[in-house]
Amino acid sequence: MLKTEEQNKIKDLSSIKVMEIFEGPLDLLLYLIHVNEIDIYDIPITLITDQYLEYVNAMKDLNLDVAGEFLFMASNLIYIKSRMLLPRIDEKDDDTFDDPRAELVERLLEHEKFRNTARLLREWEHIQSQYMIRHNDTNREIEYELDELSFDRLVKAYQMTIKFGSNYNYKYVTINTINIHEKIEHIMEIMNKKKKVKFDEMFPENISRLELIVFFLAILELIRKKVLKVTQRKFLGNIFIHKVEKV
Amino acid sequence: MNSPVKSVIESILFISNKPVTLSHLKNVFDKHSNEKILSIIKELQNEYESSNRGFRIQLVAGGYQMTTNPANFDHLKKFMTEKRKISLSLASLECLALIAYKQPITIPEINNIRNVDSGAVVKNLLAKSLIKILGKKKTPGKPYIFGTTKEFLIHFGIDDLKSLPPLEEIEQVLE
């Protein structure tokens, strides 16, 4: 069991904020291995699992998202523990017995390596931060090289701008909005008169592409509403649009 | 143009805001050999060092950069009005260490080693341009692969990725 002092320490930590103290379950495990002065290659799985679960229980209602990862490791630990308890089936060959802890140990070692590397980087960062350098001034606007320009060129550029401005004929563009409801009304007008129309004859001449699309959409809409229906007698033959007679 | 080479190199290093490579310097002095230029830089370094000047010249990210004398750091900190946050969180550093040593690497691979979701940390490193996207891995989901940048080398004062100590020796380096 944990020494009471350590236990208190852990409980204190858990009441602050878990995420900042232990980056993840592997971090917590390494911490437990460290405070218990355990040989990483021979982890007393029962002890570690108990302590781990104790910690996880203490932090359960702190941060669910973090707890998820921690709980996953908890189940992993319990699984390893259960496998350690089971008698070995294959007793004849001791060498081939694979330690259920092996994978976890490997991951812990890998994790420790990168944690150490992180500490080394932190040291380097600290040293390097004292060697200050010029920084790119990101607030500065892009500057153009103006040293080849002369006053008379500026005057010329100005004159050209004025000339261009006065000679330019502005054209007003009116935006034609084509409304699908208007098209539907238009189609219904035709259909009410004729009952049956050839698809090709449906469209007015000199129709713009946009108008054509809206027209087509209007027809599709009316078919969907079962106001119109379409027939075609033979392959590649004429398509006829009919009005559906209400029963 | 017969200003002494040493003076010119000093000016170039002074004005540049990123490490100046030897080949850049070579473009300026086509008549001088690499050895000559290197020895002049060495001379400048020694001069600054021995007369305790306010500058230092560092070899970083494959180039030379003029920096301040670290002994002046505390005073300079008072001088700088703009406070730049320079230190990264331990989580960021850990992630960065992983990327530096295992590049090219994907986020799922990072998560797998760290046992913690690292997406946010990677995004942060990307925003700081300490890492970059190298491409996409040709595995299901086509995850992005990441690698470190020149800014990474500059931030930590590393000359070359090859000069990182082997992972196995890091514990000794720390001691």
Residue A19's pLDDT is 43
Chain A residue numbers touching B87 (CB-CB < 8 A): 122, 125-126, 129
Residue that the structure tokens 């996409």 belong to: B136
Q: Report whether CATH 2.40.50.100 matches the domain B5-79.
A: no
- Rounded Cα distance, A106 and B37, in Å: 48
Q: What is the pLDDT of residues B138-150, one digit of tens each?
A: 888 889 999 999 9
Residue B99's pLDDT is 94
Residue A136's pLDDT is 58
Which CATH code, of 1.10.10.10, 2.60.40.10, 2.60.40.1530, 1.25.40.10, is assigned to B90-174? Answer: 1.10.10.10
DSSP H helices, chain A, are: 4-16, 18-21, 25-35, 45-59, 64-85, 102-129, 151-167, 180-194, 199-202, 209-224
- A135 touching chain B per CB within 8 A: yes
Higher pLDDT, A242 or A177: A242
Percent pLDDT > 70 in chain A is 75
Residues B74-81: contacts with CB under 8 Å, at least 24 apart: B76/A132
Give domain limits for chain B. 5-79, 90-174
- Rounded Cα distance, A135 and A152, in Å: 37
Decide whether B5-79 matches B90-174 in CATH topology: yes
Does A128 contact B115 at a Cβ distance shorter than 8 Å? Answer: no
Q: What is the pLDDT of residues B6-23, one digit of tens each?
A: 888 899 999 888 899 988
pTM above 0.95, yes or no: no
Segment B90-101 mean pLDDT: 91
Of A24, A120, A131, the CB nearest to B170: A120
Name residues whose C-beta falls within 8 Å of residue A75's C-beta, 6 or more positions apart in sequence.
none
Strand A228-232's sheet: what is its strand order? A196-198, A239-243, A228-232
Q: Which residue of A lies nearest to B111 if distances are taken between CA atoms?
A: A24
Residue B84's pLDDT is 60
Q: Report whether the peptide linkage leading into residue B104 is cis, meaning its omega lies within 30 degrees of zero.
A: yes
**Choice among A183-187, B84-88, B132-136 with the minimum mean pLDDT:** B84-88
Q: Is the pLDDT of residue A58 over 80?
A: no
Q: Is the pLDDT of residue A50 over 50?
A: yes
Residue B57's pLDDT is 92
- Per DSSP, the residues of A25-84 read HHHHHHHHHHHTT--TTS--HHHHHHHHHHHHHHHTTT-HHHHHHHHHHHHHHHHHHHHH
Name residues whose C-beta falls within 8 Å of residue A217's C-beta, 6 or more positions apart in sequence.
A180, A183
Of B17, B98, B171, the CB nearest to A116: B171
Give domain limits for chain A. 4-87+97-129, 180-243
Segment B77-82 mean pLDDT: 74
Of B65, B84, B91, the CB nearest to A23: B91
Cβ of A105: how many Cβ atoms within 10 Å? 15
Q: Is the pLDDT of residue A93 over 50?
A: yes
Q: Which residue of B lies nearest to A117 if distances are taken between CA atoms?
A: B97
Q: What is the pLDDT of residues B99-117, one digit of tens each?
A: 999 989 999 999 888 888 8
Residue A142's pLDDT is 41
The two three-digit tokens of residue B162, written as one number: 């090859």
Q: Share the mean pLDDT of chain A.
A: 77
Which numeric CATH code is attached to A180-243? Answer: 1.10.10.580
- φ, ψ of residue B114 in degrees (nearest 5): -80, -20
Q: What is the pLDDT of residues B29-74, one digit of tens each?
A: 878 888 888 898 999 999 999 999 998 999 998 899 999 999 998 8
Does B96 contact A132 at a Cβ distance shorter than 8 Å? Answer: no
